[in-house]
Copies of this chain bind each other. A is one copy, B any other.
Amino acid sequence: MRRLSRELGRSAMAPYWYVNDKRELLDLVTRKLLSEVKLPEPDSGPWEDRLREVVTGIDARLHDHPGIAAVMLERMQNTDRRLMNGIMEILLDAGFEGADVFLSYAMIHTYLFGRYQVVGVDTPDPAKGLPGDLEDTLQRLIPHLTKLRGRDFFNYGVDTIIAGLQAQLAAKKRPRRRR
């Protein structure tokens, strides 16, 4: 709040005329950001593609303003109602019902916004003692890590979630195991 005021050339208390507290300001920021994300038309394709489209749209906004993802992660309901409804409608179209819609939404939400909180694995400094036991799997795999970009993590995560949701739907239709 103080830094904001400073950058705007106002006193520390100026923002408090517009807003009750910091949380309220951040809520307005998240809403503004998410309002620019488009929802695909309900008949524009299979649910998997539509889900991927919204989620990619959200991710693009977060890419420009990664700091705000923490706020969105924290409070689910703070997410734009329009987007939350849009995603839930896609999930209903997919065949989810009742509580499963929430469970699926929560999973997507957690991954989508949680992603931005994670900072990558640094390659461990080999000069810094205990450079690697023989059984250090991480050590062995490090070369592969350096090739990966943020986009790869995102695509893989979304692919895996969609595939997982498809499996949940399939399990519901022909339940081999008991609930």
- A residues apposed to B, CB below 8 Å: 70, 73-77, 81, 84-85, 88-89, 92, 98-104, 106-107, 109-111, 113-115, 117-122, 124, 135-138, 141, 144-145, 147-148, 152-153, 156-157, 159-168, 171
Q: How far is the CA of A162 from the CA of B160 in the complex (A)?
A: 9
Residue contact A147 to B99, C-beta cutoff 8 Å: yes
A127 to chain B, nearest CB (A): 16
Nearest residue (CB) in B for A91 is B137
Highest count of chain B CB atoms <10 Å: which of A120, A136, A137, A168: A137
Residue contact B111 to A74, C-beta cutoff 8 Å: no
Among B92, B102, B147, B160, which residue has its beta carbon within 8 angstroms of that of A165? B160
Q: How far is the CA of A151 from the CA of B106 in the complex (A)?
A: 13
Residue contact A99 to B148, C-beta cutoff 8 Å: yes
Residue contact A144 to B114, C-beta cutoff 8 Å: no
A113 surroundings in chain B (CB, below 8 A): 114
Q: How far is the CA of A114 from the CA of B89 in the complex (A)?
A: 24
A138 surroundings in chain B (CB, below 8 A): 81, 84-85, 88
A85 surroundings in chain B (CB, below 8 A): 135-138
A120 surroundings in chain B (CB, below 8 A): 76
Residue contact B152 to A163, C-beta cutoff 8 Å: no
